Structure 1
């Protein structure tokens, strides 16, 4: 009798995991496909621009360069009243200086200047600048915060799908480690199920880690959860990192020389590609200059007084607190920088694996579902076990939008079940 009750409990729990895996898939598959496509486009967008517009991206190598102020002013004159977002200064003398603006739609506009004489080379925007629109679409543009929230919900439910999928895959038939390999000769539903489940298990840890590297970029979790937690624990990045406007310096009126800031950076050993941020920031705020390195620990940051270019502060990624360092490293991994030239290939392979999971998951569902039915697993009747309630509580506390969306899914599921109760077997 006890064995029968235990078997019933396990069956009920498996049915519950299967049902939530199914519901999660309805939300997650469009999200995963969208993020895989837009993310891959962003990974290769810089290389595409290099191939498509070499006249804007490359110049004849020449050690002589005019002042950075002259270069930026040429871009300003060309763009009229638009504000400068940032300036990219390459270490390679064969590359042009890139001055970034934002258009009326909220998408970036890249203006290219020849550093040898300060002449304008041209600009790229809209469809011609995939670096901007692919990154924007990947982050929720043009819906703004609402788009970011939707993508965050998709990431949260992908985590749910990974956990429920692992439970469903876990071998209970004595196959042991052989369950890691698909049964290619089984045919039918089992064939597609194994192609889906085995690849998902291989990438499960990487999927979860990758999703958590994306969450700091979101407007809700990154801005309203992670930010306050870091501040309360003293784990935020140093002010010199310049991730937000830093109000420091003399506060005196005047505009300092960008070239003077650049010379100071080079003199202090920042020899790679550099990015200058908040050049036209709020009054009293400082100008942030940072190096662009593959590893977050190698990044260096300088903070300058806007009025006289005095160096106010300096730091590097190795001096970040543990949480801030983990976030910065996650960002590098997520955008394909961490592994150098092989980074885009690694992340493209990962995106291909996610697409594979979506396709094989749909095929497995299609082969198994009853004819003329959705094939949603039946609703469990037994209450949630205590350990599952505790797990859900931890996830809901860590991911508030998951809690909110889960409540909406539960409400919709309950309403649907009451409106269209399952038919009894004849």
Structure 2
């Protein structure tokens, strides 16, 4: 069954339809992925006068004093958090919510002055992140991308089947040979690029789907969410850790986003100082981290160091600590070893996904994005060269003569249908559209056929 021409045509037809839908999304994801890889580097280089200070002395202002400098300039705005660096020449960076956007405000702790600010919500990185996750059209875009990523897994399965050597050619030759002219050369380029990209592409698909609203939000993220109620005596009824993320950018660990924020146990007369929070965090082993300020009178101080927030590169050091805003006592302490196995893999996967493990990782992610763009473009060229001249429509691969073989292709579709709900929805839609198109074309052909 699996080696027949009809079955091959079935697989090819599914590969074509999945690719038809997926190609523009994969190009978009690759381009925005490249932007997200280099935007933080470019921003730090472009605005080095904000990110770094020149005159480093032994007596910087306290964090409380720096906070007050920012508060004096942003009287009617909410200061949300501060980034604490272990590099003396780094400016202190506060995050302030100004109207409907979030801005980074930079403070020179040695000269005691505000250096300037940059938009977080309207930055190039935020634009790329929003496009990467929702196509900038909200939940609808999220669903469309989730279908596309689910279909990409279908492309990997069908592509590997179509690549598999069936003649005298060895597997190594099939994996490395790019020769011929015209469509043959493009087909070889497409198959070789796809083969060497397949495992990494599958990894990116799974880690990317973990952010999607259906498979990610409703299934694996909900299942992997840390049960804060078991660690904290009181938790908020309407605030989650996701509320600590600035608009348009995700910085909180993936498995904590849906977890409710804990609350301070009792009201007090005085809130502990920001310097106390920073010192306590450093004494607990934090080096580069963020301190989120309390939300409301029963809110807590939250210290986070994570790969998601780009504070650290080693996921083993992922840690989130909540402190009572009045007593300073530790309410909850969540580290990497408290994550379940999927959340642990996500913590490592995010760092790999974002190119944080040094230059080799950045180069590898860049090469991968370029390879996916090449894979998409070669697929388009192959399709264009295969189309008959003056052809109308999609010129899809022909249906197998034995329609039962078409149905047998379901064995390659089952993993997608069972594991990824939006992928299953896409498969059903493709099947219906394909059937309706074939039926419509048959009626048109019959209507305009010459009379005998």
TM-score (norm 2): 0.82
Secondary structure of 1:372 counterpart: coil
- For 2:156 and 2:26, how far apart are their aligned partners in 1? 13
- For 1:33 and 1:400, how far apart are their aligned partners in 2? 23
TM alignment of 1:3-402, pairs within 5 A: 10-60=4-54, 61-101=56-96, 108-125=102-119, 129-140=123-134, 142-177=136-171, 178-184=173-179, 186-230=180-224, 243=257, 244-253=259-268, 255-271=271-287, 273-277=288-292, 279-281=293-295, 283-291=297-305, 292-337=311-356, 339-373=357-391, 374-380=394-400, 381-383=402-404, 388-389=409-410, 391-402=412-423
After alignment, is 393-402 or 89-98 more displaced?
Answer: 393-402
* Cα distance change of structure 1 residues 102 and 200 upon mapping to structure 2, 3 Å threshold: farther
* Partner of residue 3, structure 1: none
* Cα distance change of structure 1 residues 130 and 275 upon mapping to structure 2, 3 Å threshold: same
* Cα distance change of structure 1 residues 76 and 341 upon mapping to structure 2, 3 Å threshold: farther
* Cα distance change of structure 1 residues 215 and 281 upon mapping to structure 2, 3 Å threshold: farther
Q: CA deviation at 1:172?
A: 0.9
Q: CA deviation at 1:321?
A: 2.4
Secondary structure of 1:209 counterpart: helix
- For 1:357 and 1:63, how far apart are their aligned partners in 2? 54
Q: CA deviation at 1:390?
A: 5.1
Q: CA deviation at 1:48?
A: 0.8
- For 1:286 and 1:145, how far apart are their aligned partners in 2? 30
Q: CA RMSD in A?
A: 3.1
Gaps of 5+ in 2: 233-240, 242-252, 306-310
Secondary structure of 1:217 counterpart: coil
Preserved contact between residue 194 and residue 375 of structure 2 (Cα < 8 Å) = yes
Q: CA deviation at 1:282?
A: 5.1
> How many corresponding residue pairs?
414
* Cα distance change of structure 1 residues 116 and 235 upon mapping to structure 2, 3 Å threshold: closer
Deviations 1:239-291 (A, max 9, x none): 897544422431425543222111011122222x21123x2435534332122
Q: CA deviation at 1:182?
A: 2.4
Within the candidate set 398, 422, 430, 1:409 is matched to: 430
Q: CA deviation at 1:201?
A: 0.3
- For 1:396 and 1:355, how far apart are their aligned partners in 2? 26
- For 2:59 and 2:422, how far apart are their aligned partners in 1? 53
Q: CA deviation at 1:238?
A: 8.0
Secondary structure of 2:115 counterpart: strand
Secondary structure of 1:383 counterpart: helix
Preserved contact between residue 228 and residue 261 of structure 2 (Cα < 8 Å) = no
Q: CA deviation at 1:222?
A: 1.8
* Partner of residue 420, structure 1: 441
Secondary structure of 2:134 counterpart: coil
Secondary structure of 2:82 counterpart: strand
- For 1:325 and 1:114, how far apart are their aligned partners in 2? 36
* Cα distance change of structure 1 residues 325 and 94 upon mapping to structure 2, 3 Å threshold: same
Secondary structure of 1:191 counterpart: helix
Preserved contact between residue 147 and residue 426 of structure 2 (Cα < 8 Å) = yes
* Cα distance change of structure 1 residues 268 and 229 upon mapping to structure 2, 3 Å threshold: closer
* Cα distance change of structure 1 residues 120 and 22 upon mapping to structure 2, 3 Å threshold: same
After alignment, is 346-355 or 411-420 more displaced?
Answer: 411-420
- For 1:103 and 1:414, how far apart are their aligned partners in 2? 53
- For 1:127 and 1:314, how far apart are their aligned partners in 2? 29
- For 2:131 and 2:167, how far apart are their aligned partners in 1? 44
* Cα distance change of structure 1 residues 191 and 237 upon mapping to structure 2, 3 Å threshold: farther
- For 1:21 and 1:238, how far apart are their aligned partners in 2? 48
- For 1:175 and 1:247, how far apart are their aligned partners in 2? 62
Deviations 1:55-82 (A, max 9, x none): 1111123343323233334334444544
- For 1:414 and 1:92, how far apart are their aligned partners in 2? 63
